[in-house]
Each structure stands twice: as C-alpha cells, then as structure tokens.
Amino acid sequence: MKNEQDLKELVKEKYGQIAQQSKAQNESSCCGSTCCGGGSGVDYTIFSDSYDNLSGYEPDADLGLGCGLPTEFAKINEGDTVVDLGSGAGNDCFVARAITGPSGKVIGIDMTEAMIEKARQNAQKLGYDNVEFYLGDIEDMPLPSHIADVVVSNCVLNLVPNKTAALSETFRILKPGGHFSISDVVLQGDLPEGLREEAEMYAGCVSGAMQKDDYLRLIAETGFTNIQVQKEKAITLPLEILEQYLGAELAARFNESDTGIFSVTVYAEKAE
C-alpha cells in the first residue's frame, strides 16, 4: 500500500499531465466522460455531467474530470465568497462567479502547478478580477479562517488520502452559517484488491473512494449539520475495464455482487 505522500505525488503527476491536454484527450481519464475507454463504441459517459446549460460555463476550463455539478446545488447567492477545492482549470469557479457576480469573490485551490497556471490564464482571458487561484493542499489550505460563505468541490476529496484533515480545513474556512456542496465518488461494499491497489485507478478516482456511510459519518464527526445527499448516480464500470484490473473471472463476480460505485453530491452546513 502506498503512503499518503506517494499517493499525492501520483495524483499531482497524473493531473499535471491532464492540464496540458484538451478535454477530448482527457476523456480517457477514469474521471472523464469516457472512463478509461475509447474506440469500442460503448457509451462511457458514466462519471461526468454536462455543464452546457449552466451560466458561466467556460469550455476551455472543462477538462471532463468531474463527477457531478456541485455549483448547481450549492445555493450560492450574489455577493458570496466561494471556495472551490481542487479547482483544476477553473470550470466550477467560473460557474460560481456567474452566480456571485462582480460583487462576490471566488477562490480556487489546487495542488497542481500546471492546473493553477491554466486556471489563471482562463480567468485573465475572461477578464475576471474577482476570481483567484492559489497553489495549495486542501488538507492545509493557504486561506484564513471564516472566509467562505460556500465551499464546492468536484470529484476531488476522494483523491485526498487524509479526508479528515480536508474536511476539518473545509470547516475552518467556512463562515458560521456557511455550507458546502461537494460532488464525490463513494462506495457501497468493498472494492476488489486489484482495483483498490492499482495506481491508475487511484488517480482515476475510484480506489480512493470511501464507503458512503463512512463518508457521511465523517462529515458529521467534523461538526457539520443538516447533511443531505442532493444527488446520487450509480456508476457501472465497463466490463473490459474491470477485466483489465481483475481478470475475466473476478470481473464477472464483481458485476454480480452487491458492491456499488456511486457519484454523490452532498450538502452540509456549519452552524452559526
């Protein structure tokens, strides 16, 4: 089993490469809309959701890496300060900015230098002077306490080895009465060892996922209240992908088991 630092370096390397590519190229990522597939004629749009109908959507900032639409559910108001954890090329930040307007502020945090550079370029191109991007670790954010009205995140927390620290930091930066809306990947039942241990699957967001009940319990233990699952979508990994990691026999057993992979969007509040 890799240690936390090894896993962080793996994710940084993977997403540093992704930052240099187009959305079409990135759709071969397991968190992209074709989930490791390509060329088979199978519809692999199983993780990401379409942003096309959301105001503020910037195609150049959409790398196809999400597993939900947290900004759609985040109850953002005009003038809010919004922090996006694992902001990538800025996609969710720009959607949030369309809601906060020029009187609000949007801050993106990402640990990958190439992503921060791409996001800043996108913000400059769009002429946004109230959208900022900082290089940093969401387990130890470079932000003061009580800065955010709303925190959003899209398919990122599952990649963080120390989820307790990331949630504690989220609680710290939220203002009393603030809230978050986070899209993530969770499990019901245990993944086979071949999936959990495989590095590419970790960087692809499946093997870093927690059990759904444990995930919700951890949010509550951090101090959040009014926890709600706003959206849930079952994920089915294509058989050829499972066979790549498990072999044909174990892949067939996995598909017949009660084990499930889900994309969820979770809302929670910090009490006033």
**Residue 179: band (very low, low, confident or very high) from pLDDT cuts 50, 70, 90:** very high
Which pLDDT score, from 0 to 100, does residue 147 have? 98
Question: Which residue carries 């969007």 as its tokens?
Answer: 265
Share of the chain above pLDDT 90, in %: 50
- pLDDT tens for 49-67 read 777 778 888 888 877 777 8
Residue 151 in this model has a pLDDT that exceeds 70: yes
Residue 185 half-sphere exposure toward CB, CA atoms < 13 A: 29
Average confidence score pLDDT of the chain: 82
Residue 15 in this model has a pLDDT that exceeds 70: no
pTM of the full structure: 0.82
Residue 32 in this model has a pLDDT that exceeds 90: no
C-alpha to C-alpha distance for 110 and 115, rounded to whole angstroms? 7
Which pLDDT score, from 0 to 100, does residue 235 have? 78
Question: Which residue carries 């398919």 as its tokens?
Answer: 155
Q: Which CATH class is domain 4-269?
A: alpha beta
Query: Is 173 or 244 the better-scoring residue by pLDDT?
Result: 173
| Domain residue extents for the chain | 4-269
Query: Is 123 or 9 the better-scoring residue by pLDDT?
Result: 123
Taking residue 250's Cβ as centre, other Cβ atoms within 10 Å add up to: 16
Which pLDDT score, from 0 to 100, does residue 28 have? 47
One-letter amino acid for residue 222 of the chain: T
Tokens, residue 2: 């890799």
- Measuring CA to CA, which residue among 25, 22, 104, 46 is closest to residue 71? 104
Taking residue 184's Cβ as centre, other Cβ atoms within 10 Å add up to: 26
- pLDDT tens for 71-97 read 999 999 999 999 999 999 999 999 999
